[in-house]
Structure 1
Amino acid sequence: MANDNEKVVALLNEILEMEASGVIRYLHYALMIKGPNRIPIVKWFHEQANEGYQHASIIGEKITALGGHPSLKTAPVPETKTHKVLDILKESLDFEQAALGKYKEVLKHCGDDVALEELIRSMVRMETEHIEEVVKMLDTTH
């Protein structure tokens, strides 16, 4: 593997670990939601967990396509013991912003690999949309 390829694989492995931890994170959030608005919020968190799994799978496939070895680790998921919806959404926002930053970091190393660049740009779009959605959910002025 060329030096840039090794850097890309290392970054993709960090993303894989983040996406895998997102599955755990969002499942935990879904399990901890209580109150009258529980059903739609739980559904949304389950969707996020499923999407994290899909993203992890896509990134893992790209890692192996680049000749790398997918990580078996997951990024740490802190247990804050705060399970109020707004607190959980703030944690979710921080997580999504960190993931977005990591995807953007990969963009700097795509070189002339158009397929990799297109994949990462699509992930940047999805992470940005997640962030926008969470920001809207956190807006309690309406």
Structure 2
Amino acid sequence: MNKDYKNLIDGLNDDLAHEYAAAIQYTYSAAVVTGVHRAALKPFFEDEINDEMGHALYLSEKISALGGTPTTKAAELSQPTEVKDLLEATLQSETDTIKRYEERKQLAEKLGETALVVKLEDVIADETKHKEEVENLLADPEGVLNK
């Protein structure tokens, strides 16, 4: 296997570990969110779980198709308990994920992996939507999240 394909597979496995972690983070956040924000945030967090697992499934299949072995390990994640901290951790995770996928997309383009490039663009769009939603949730001019 050439070095660029090995790097792509390794990178996709890193992405996969982060998708597992994101699903866990959203599951965790849905369970621990409390207070007046619970009614709105619990369904938001729960809705994201299926998206992240869908990304993980695609990545697993693609890694295997490229000749690699999909990881079964999740990336490290934090366990905040305050609402604002939950949202900030989610925002950071989404921001980092977009950056990783942009890097992977560039390598896939270099290798002529057109189908992967298109799928990564779709995933980047999903993650960007998630990021923007969290940014909107964090927009808190009244300071309600700090109370």
TM-score normalised to the size of structure 2?
0.89
- The 5 Å alignment of 1:92-107 reads 92-107=90-105
Please provide the CA RMSD for this pair: 1.3
Which structure has more helix as a fraction of its residues?
2
Displacement of 1:16 in angstroms is 0.3
> 1:116 — aligned with what?
116
Runs (4+) off by over 3 Å: none
1:47-94 Cα shifts (integer Å, max 9, x gaps)? 112221111111111111111110111101123xx4222221011000
Q: Could you tell me which amino acid in structure 2 is paired with residue 140 of structure 1?
A: D
Residue identity (%): 29
Unaligned runs of 5+ in 2: 143-147
Q: In the alignment, is the contact (CA less than 8 A) between 2:78 and 2:89 conserved in 1?
A: no
Give distance in 1, aligned partners of 2:55 and 2:40: 22
> 1:6 — aligned with what?
6
> 2:125 — aligned with what?
125
Q: Could you tell me which amino acid in structure 2 is paired with residue 91 of structure 1?
A: A
Give distance in 1, aligned partners of 2:58 and 2:81: 30
1:89 maps to 2:87: yes
TM-score normalised to the size of structure 1?
0.92
1:27-65 Cα shifts (integer Å, max 9, x gaps)? 111110111331221111111122211111111111111
